[in-house]
Amino acid sequence: MAGALGYHSTDPDRGARLRFHVKPGSYDTAGLIEILEQMKVLHRGEKVVLVWDGLSAHWSRAMRARVAEQDWLTLERLPAYAPELNPVELLWSSLQKRELANLVGDHLADVADATEQGIQRINTNQQLPWSFLAHTGLTIHPPHPPNLRKDQ
């Protein structure tokens, strides 16, 4: 399962959003390139900055070559051994404590369904996705997302 958490820096009122992708087996470079192609369609020409951890498939030669051909995509790398800087780690933690806690599914679809319910729960709470981003301590723009402004 792969997850992404993002927001529109030019239109923060659109809110932070979560996305996830499920596939049998593990993710390799080819599988992640397929996801990038889906992202390209989803974002319809918008510029995207993707912050990835050090997974080898994220930084393989084939991946770097593919990304170099994309004018809509910029990759940034998280430091090694820094899960506290990855907002998706907070997403997984939230799902594991609620929807996936003690879940014994017979099929991958059971886990995917529970995860989708959790993502819907998080996406309907305007503050929770922003809190995952803000908790990392990384500089995000706008510095105070609309639903976490200090003056409210």
**Is the distance from CB of 115 to CB of 123 less than 8 angstroms?**
no
For residue 97, count CB atoms less than 10 angstroms from its CB and return exposed for 0-12, middle for 13-18, buried for 19 or more.
exposed
Tell me if the bond preceding 142 is cis, omega within 30° of 0. yes
User: Which of 131, 98, 135 minimizes the C-alpha distance to 115?
Assistant: 98
How many C-beta neighbours within 10 Å does residue 88 have?
Answer: 19
15-45 confidence digits (pLDDT tens): 677 777 878 888 899 999 999 998 888 888 7
To the nearest 10°, the Cα dihedral for 88, 138, 65, 56?
-50
Give the pLDDT band of residue 150 (cuts 50, 70, 90): very low
Q: How far is CA 67 from CA 58, 71, 128, 147, in A?
A: 10, 8, 30, 33
User: Which of 82, 80, 98, 86 minimizes the C-alpha distance to 133?
Assistant: 86
For residue 152, count CB atoms less than 10 angstroms from its CB and return exposed for 0-12, middle for 13-18, buried for 19 or more.
exposed
Q: pTM, whole model, 2 decimals?
A: 0.72
> Region 50-67: what's the mean pLDDT?
89
> Region 146-151: what's the mean pLDDT?
45
77-113 confidence digits (pLDDT tens): 888 888 888 888 888 899 999 999 999 989 888 988 9
